[in-house]
Chain A
């Protein structure tokens, strides 16, 4: 593959096989979906603070379906919540996060010219793209998009008579997710193969940057769990369209008794959460990988306890496959089974705690440089502490009896999964933007973006715990039906205020991003003084990454401020000095 290779507009920007360009396609698609998902949350937050009031925000969303007859009714509310959850979980934080950074960083940080299969990689993006189009098209169907929650539990999701969104909207949702899963599998297999086979000379597994470890483990989780979602969805398609009874039994709907007997919705829940729980780590781990890298670079210190960090990632990944039942404590499962899931779930807190301590130890006696990326990386650590701790409440089956499916859960998962991962994603974008576009993002706008986001996000999600402890269930269109929730309207208004303010703050990011692509100041080759291989490539994007020979690696990625060295960083390609021991 030569750098003189001619690229037309189509092969360069559209059907590209260059991993760096594919990464940008994932990023931009993810950002677009992020804006759509955020707008949806703004709309339903307005509803929760001012029930029944129609909002001009509607006109910003695609899909005329919102604007017909009289404001936001309960069906539309549930549709928005469902699409918001689906979009943020799968589109933004799975494809947008892993898709972007796995594609971008894997070849660059392991010293490879490209992914193992550029073609599969391209396919992976285009499957994702078509999935996006299908999902968005469901906003335009008359009965509205899927509305049964992002967890699409049957029978609600199986029966159009139960909720209008379970008609065409749900069909499109299922098609879209199927395409999405195919895309992720193509991507995931490619990432694994590339990391295992294409590492450059000297890049042993023990010298891999933690970003790559995290992306590898994430890809393995995805490859093992997404097929289960696929089969889970397939059975649902059978039940919906071909009269089978995998998940359905003893149902009367609209006065009509259905023929289905012998199925069980609980089977669906088991299959769904067998993916669903690993999925939250598919979202979180890449962010933790990025954060490890960004914190080490900007503390000018090695990441503390590299081996423990890898071990913790592996342990978290392993445990994530045997805890899915904690989403199902209240399904009437055998109490003994509940005990087992409580046990495995609370165990996850141990490797998580180790990671937090190691981050703190990395900051300790550092020489911390606050780039916008570093601020967001710290945001992740803070959110991971705050949100991780409430997991100890939810994972305890006895306590879950009273907080299950309440706003306590909404607060918990938005902080630990939503914020940690979104911050990690922002950290990655600010950090690797110079590598992506050869230009710098504006620092001061980055600072404003971080502080605005950090303050508003806690303002939105922390108070939700109190709503939950007051007994407020999630997925409620309005709280006004129960006098016992009348006192909560102040909290709801506060949350909505912060949600709208937080949404506006994102304009600083979007502007900074697009402005800097064209007008940002030019970046130098290694603007953050990092050790890793991507900063040894030329600033200009070239196909094949390195103009000459591939780099040869002689040390780990974290020799920052090593005693005896002149600079406070040493590139991974720099040979060990006489008598120097590897960290």
Chain B
């Protein structure tokens, strides 16, 4: 039924269009004018339209910024994330300024210089001074942005791994995440995909001495203000570990290990106070990986050292989990 309706509507629309064109052609025949010639009146209408719609668009942009501001991510919950946020504010401010200068100029020129048959344009083919200026100004602005950007990038990516850094493995597979804590020795035992079997879902090599105290978990607990180094592996296709609240993202690539280090600065409990009771830090998948790509998540919990210790103690280590089952 709906299909028939759609067909009817389309036919009617086409018929209307034919009529519009016919009528406008007939009218101009009567007036002895070419319908498709652009008249001064057209230029006038279109110029004014540019002014109205153009500025309408700018207002729409402002409206979006105001109305949807509360939907954007809250300020970063990590040390490097705060620096990224600063850089983001500066860059955004800059591009918004340029946007709100250039777009009005464009729309205004269109209105201001809308054509008239009696007018003549001003022949102006180049001006070296002007061109040099508007090459150099963007160059200077961009150079400073590049420098600032690279500094921030450097601080975000080059983490010093010290004694106190907790090392955690994050393992991706279609379509879930697993984590492995490195235990007392703070060293992850070796792993190999050929060893994945039964409950040894990460393929940990239990002959490696560092493996015994490793712990597996379906959620990640972190200690506030304590640096952590996440090491990523993938079992099947490329996934991407995305922790938007911490400004952390890293691809998980089969056949290699990648990593990202950061320091959380707000506990989940603190975030619940400002963001609402249902707030959770979430790890999402951000690289297309198959049907359930849109639903591949793991909870991250940031807490105090005491809470963390209690939780970690309650987790079984791999030695008892895997070896006792043999």
Contacts and interface: CB of A to CB of B under 8 A. Distances in A.
A398 B152 contact: yes
Given A253-B236, A466-B68, A476-B294, A335 B157 contact: yes
A138 B253 CA distance: 28
B113 A363 contact: yes
Contacts of B123: 301-302, 560-563
A119 interface: no
A368 B115 contact: yes
B311 interface: no
A389 B95 contact: yes
Interface in A433-484: 440-445, 447, 451, 454-455, 458-459, 462-463, 466, 469-471, 473, 475-479, 481-484
Nearest to A444: B24
A519 B131 CA distance: 46
A556 to B, nearest CB: 9
B126 A305 contact: yes
Interface string A481-499: 1111001100100000000
Nearest to A156: B237
Nearest to B155: A398
A147 B260 CA distance: 29
A521 B99 contact: no
Interface string A145-184: 0001100011110010011000000000000000000000
Interface size grouping (class) on chain A: 35 or more
Contact of A264 (B116, B249, B256): B256
B53 A507 contact: no
Q: What bracket does the count of chain B residues touching chain A fall in?
A: 35 or more
Contacts of A142: none
A65 B258 CA distance: 38
B68 A155 contact: no
A445 B17 contact: yes
Interface string B49-62: 11001100100110
Contacts of A405: 240, 242, 249, 286-287
A375 B153 CA distance: 41
Interface string B163-177: 000000000011000
B25 A521 contact: yes
A306 B125 contact: yes
B62 to A, nearest CB: 11
Interface stretch (A11-19, A189-197, A316-324, A346-354): A346-354
A228 interface: no
21 contacts: A56-B6, A149-B288, A162-B290, A308-B126, A330-B249, A332-B256, A335-B153, A346-B142, A353-B138, A354-B135, A367-B113, A368-B115, A369-B38, A370-B42, A393-B88, A443-B35, A445-B20, A455-B53, A463-B64, A473-B286, A491-B71
Given A396-B87, A442-B35, 9 more contacts: A265-B253, A302-B123, A302-B124, A330-B240, A346-B145, A350-B135, A358-B131, A363-B113, A398-B83
Interface of A: 56, 59, 73-75, 78, 148-149, 153-156, 159, 162-163, 248-253, 257, 261-266, 299-308, 330-332, 335, 338-339, 342-343, 346-347, 349-350, 353-354, 356-358, 360-361, 363-371, 375, 378, 381-382, 385-386, 389-390, 392-393, 396-399, 401-402, 404-406, 440-445, 447, 451, 454-455, 458-459, 462-463, 466, 469-471, 473, 475-479, 481-484, 487-488, 491, 507-508, 511-512, 515, 519-521, 527, 558, 560-563, 568, 583
